[in-house]
Amino acid sequence: MKLIYVAGPFSAPTRQGVEENIRRAELLGVEVAKLGACPVVPHCNTSHPEFEHVQPYEFWIKATLELLRRCDAVIFTENWRESSGARAEHDDAVSRGQPTFFSVDELRGWLETQGGAK
């Protein structure tokens, strides 16, 4: 089974904005699961506001980069360019030759060639 990292903005000026970013990533993760791959949605791992106080921002950036590196590919939300973290994830993935996708259709096509799509 392929692990597909979902990348996109998390931080926002308001908690409502954060919640919207989490929801966008969750919904993309649902689409990944419909394809028969396992979504890795770091937004869900740290959705509770208390996580902001447990470790500093740099800790979470380092942790999510480690998650990304353990996945088979990455798919980006449509607004990923708004996030410096997502842009860094993109650059890291590209530098390592990790497959990157910007739509569910692109990911579906790749999964079909990998024997991993429904």
**Nearest-10 crossing angle of helices 104-114, 15-34:** 40
How confident is the model at residue 94, as a pLDDT? 98
**What single-letter amino acid sits at 106?**
E
How confident is the model at residue 56, as a pLDDT? 83
- C-alpha 110/C-alpha 35 separation (Å) is 11
pLDDT, tens digit (0-9, with 9 covering 90-100), for 14-29:
989 999 999 999 999 9
How confident is the model at residue 54, as a pLDDT? 85
Question: 32, 52, 48: which is closest to 40 by C-alpha?
Answer: 32
Residue 118 pLDDT grade (very low, low, confident, very high; cuts 50, 70, 90): low
How confident is the model at residue 55, as a pLDDT? 84
Which residues face 74 on adjacent strands? 5, 100
Token pair 């842009």 in the structure block, residue: 87
Ordered by where they begin, the domains of the chain are 3-114 (3.40.50.10400)
What percent of the chain is modeled with pLDDT above 90? 76
Residue 49 pLDDT grade (very low, low, confident, very high; cuts 50, 70, 90): confident
Residue 107 pLDDT grade (very low, low, confident, very high; cuts 50, 70, 90): very high
Is the pLDDT at 116 greater than 90? The verdict is: no
> Which stretches within 4-56 are classed as H helix?
15-34, 42-45, 51-54
- With residue 6 as reference, give the H or E element that holds it: strand 3-7
